[in-house]
Chains A and B, each alone.
Chain A
Amino acid sequence: MEKQVLAIIRKKNRRAGIFLTIALSLYFLIPLSLMFITDVVNRPSFFYGIPWAWLLAFLQIPLTWFFCGVYHAQAKSLDEKLEGMEKEGGP
């Protein structure tokens, strides 16, 4: 049973790691784009002509809600799985 729990933990951490990496990559895209592709992010965007850098920064707000929601959904299903295993006999 302990092995099963450890396998679930590894799976959960792997998934969380992937999502966190994506979230942080998108976040650090802001300073990195300002460093390396300044001209591109300073160009006027489709949104009332304000630079793309603003949109990239603003995008982080819904992305934060999205990633937190995804994590919660995954953690909830993991909790249910573990609860079921505990009922069967515990690790």
Chain B
Amino acid sequence: MNPTYFLFLIYIVVSTLIITYWAAKRSKTTLRFYVASRKLTGFQNGMAIAGDFISAASFLGIIGMVAFRGYDGFLYSIGFLVSYVVVLFLIAEPVHRLGNYSLGDVICSRFPSRQMRFLMAFSTFIISILYMIPQLVASGFLLRLLLNLDYSVSVMVIGALMTLYVITGGMISTSWVQIVKTVLLMSGTFLLTLIVFSHFNWNIATLIEDVKGGTPLGKDFFLPGHLYDHPLEFLSLQLALVLGTAGLPHILIRLFTVRNTFEVRRSLISSTWIIGIFYIMTLILGLGTVALLGTDALLERDSTGNLAAPLLAQAVGGDFLLAFVSAIAFTTIIAVVAGLVISATTAFSHDIYHHIMKKGKSTEKDQLRAARLSAVAIGLISTLLALRLERLNVTFLVSMTFIVAASSIFPVLFLTIYWKRFTPGGAFTGMMMGLFASLFAVALGPHIMNPVDGWIRREAVVSLYNPGILTIPIGFMGAIGGSFIFRRQSQSLKEFQRFSIQAQTGIHSGRDGNEKFDGN
């Protein structure tokens, strides 16, 4: 291994471990462990949300996608960004006001029952694991390619680190690792963008002309349709991306880490600025890759496109910049997987252990022990799965996570907050139908069933790569249909109005601006 790469890697690991050591001394209560005492400022939480959200798929994948697919690759990043409008307008403030630590708290504030809590914990767990596997598998390949580390060693190092951050420092260390990642990512990407842009004399026209010369497509490179030839795929993908974030548990639980809804809004606004600026830079880097390296050269080195950013860094800044970009990629992965572990841990220890198994009567000490054991178990399960899945292409699990979240958790959260006729039966049927429809549609789709290189060598039953356009309506129909079938369970108008006031203003909740929420 190149000593520069090794030094950067050690520097990142040591820095994050110092953060974890500092956080460990402050994570002695459940309030601190699960939500960092709600002491983060809006801007800090915005940086942590960006750190939680921008995965390796965004940092490395989008640059490669823009380089190979042009416009279609750029549309991915637009979908990711616009999804924050949905989160802010519809979900963020009510989730903050209704929940303490988990999404189970949010739904149970209207429909308190052990079944409902179990269902939310189960969905959170499934989504977190589904999202964690591709991140870990990608980390294995990435570290092998960049640092010449063995796949298994890479996955185990990342798996061990993410578990260590969570068991020792809980949400405090996870948040600060994510904040550090955002600072590194933004500064590194900004530096790389400046260097790349300087190669074109800061002239967009030169960049565009050189892009046309760097691809066999010529000026057609800028036309849409290089990834999906059917516009319905576009529509379906955009729908899943824009609604998916509003159902991602690891993003939504970050809304509990600030003290009031003013800070919730500031968190999301800060994150949209960070994510938006980041995607503008990835666009320039993607185009810069085509112009400086050429599509064919990139294809020769790496057919997935994931190495576009590191190769570009090497081309414009030598081994030192490559080492820096590799360190950023490493930090990106550990920050995202740590966020996923804390989300799954909270679902298991708070919802299942504390509320369901112990009926809300376990002590702080027991809850913390359960949380730490859950984190170890989740870290172990996901690491073992990632080790087993080395030979399978699991990148589609990233978009699948958005589809599952948009089809199951989002409809239930949305209808719980806004629909007075919604019932627990509707929540149950909506969640189950959305979840299983997404899983089946992907399993019967071309990612899995493909005569050329699929897991199952047959024609796909569902022709869409991104079946969100089918599964999201199924989730909603399940929730609405279930509410009509189980309409006897519906609340009185008075009860719903009281809930609505709490969800949308915080009155009665004792949340905004005071500390009455300290506990469960």
Q: Mark B433-474, 1 if CB is under 8 A from A, else 0.
A: 000000000000000000000000000000000000000000
Which of B242, B265, B507 is A71 in contact with, Cβ under 8 Å?
Answer: B265
Q: Mark B203-219, 1 if CB is under 8 A from A, else 0.
A: 01100100000000000
Instruction: Answer yes or no: B295 CB below 8 A from chain A CBs.
Output: no
Q: A6-B497, A61-B279 are in contact. Are A54 and B71 (CB under 8 A)?
A: yes
Q: Could you tell me the distance in whole angstroms from the C-beta of B498 to the nearest C-beta in chain A? A: 8
Q: Which residues of chain B are near A57, meaning CB under 8 Å? A: 71, 74-75, 78
Q: Mark A70-91, 1 if CB is under 8 A from B, else 0.
A: 0110011001001000100011
Decide: A53 and B224 in contact? CB cutoff 8 A: yes
Instruction: Answer yes or no: B85 CB below 8 A from chain A CBs.
Output: yes
Q: Which residues of chain B are near A2, meaning CB under 8 Å? A: 497, 501
Q: Mark B476-520, 1 if CB is under 8 A from A, else 0.
A: 000000000000000000000100110011010000000000000
Interface of A is mostly: helix
Q: Which residues of chain A are near B225, meaning CB under 8 Å? A: 34
Q: A5-B507, A31-B231, A91-B501 are in contact. Are A60 and B81 (CB under 8 A)?
A: yes
Which of B78, B222, B234, B269 is A60 in contact with, Cβ under 8 Å?
Answer: B78
A40 to B356, CA, bound (A): 57
Instruction: Answer yes or no: B280 CB below 8 A from chain A CBs.
Output: yes
Decide: A75 and B93 in contact? CB cutoff 8 A: yes
Instruction: Answer yes or no: B88 CB below 8 A from chain A CBs.
Output: yes
Q: Which residues of chain A are near B311, meaning CB under 8 Å? A: none
Q: Which residues of chain A are near B381, meaning CB under 8 Å? A: none
A72 to B262, CA, bound (A): 8
Decide: A32 and B273 in contact? CB cutoff 8 A: no
Q: Which residues of chain A are near B272, meaning CB under 8 Å? A: 64-65, 68
Decide: A64 and B501 in contact? CB cutoff 8 A: no
Which of A8, A20, A75 is B265 in contact with, Cβ under 8 Å?
Answer: A75
Decide: A30 and B75 in contact? CB cutoff 8 A: yes
Instruction: Answer yes or no: B268 CB below 8 A from chain A CBs.
Output: yes
Decide: B224 and A35 in contact? CB cutoff 8 A: no
Chain B minimum-CB-distance residue to A27: B82
Q: Which of B86, B89, B238, B497 has the most CB of A within 10 A?
A: B89
Q: Mark A45-71, 1 if CB is under 8 A from B, else 0.
A: 000111101100100110011011101
Interface of B is mostly: helix
For chain A, the count of residues having a C-beta within 8 Å of the partner chain is 45
Decide: A64 and B82 in contact? CB cutoff 8 A: yes
Which of A48, A51, A64, A82 is B507 in contact with, Cβ under 8 Å?
Answer: A82
A54 to B325, CA, bound (A): 27
A79 to B507, CA, bound (A): 11
Q: Could you tell me the distance in whole angstroms from the C-beta of B54 to the nearest C-beta in chain A? A: 15
Chain B minimum-CB-distance residue to A28: B238
Q: In chain B, residues 255-313, which have Cβ atoms closer than 8 Å to a Cβ of chain A?
A: 261-262, 265-266, 268-269, 272-273, 276, 279-280
Q: Mark B384-417, 1 if CB is under 8 A from A, else 0.
A: 0000000000000000000000000000000000
Chain A minimum-CB-distance residue to B279: A61
Instruction: Answer yes or no: B7 CB below 8 A from chain A CBs.
Output: no
A91 to B299, CA, bound (A): 64
Decide: B501 and A71 in contact? CB cutoff 8 A: no
A65 to B85, CA, bound (A): 9
Q: Could you tell me the distance in whole angstroms from the C-beta of B390 to the nearest C-beta in chain A? A: 35
Instruction: Answer yes or no: B160 CB below 8 A from chain A CBs.
Output: no
Q: Which residues of chain A are near B497, meaning CB under 8 Å? A: 2, 6
- Nearest first, the 5 A-B pairs at minimum CB distance are A35-B231, A31-B235, A31-B234, A20-B89, A61-B276
B interface residues (Cβ-Cβ under 8 A, vs A)? 71, 74-75, 78, 81-82, 84-86, 88-90, 93, 204-205, 208, 222-225, 231-232, 234-235, 238, 242, 261-262, 265-266, 268-269, 272-273, 276, 279-280, 418, 497, 500-501, 504-505, 507
Can you list 26 contacts pairing A with B, beta carbon distance less than 8 Å?
A5-B501, A8-B505, A9-B500, A9-B501, A12-B504, A20-B85, A20-B90, A24-B85, A27-B82, A28-B235, A30-B75, A42-B223, A42-B224, A51-B71, A51-B223, A53-B224, A54-B71, A61-B276, A64-B272, A64-B276, A65-B272, A65-B276, A68-B88, A71-B89, A72-B265, A75-B265
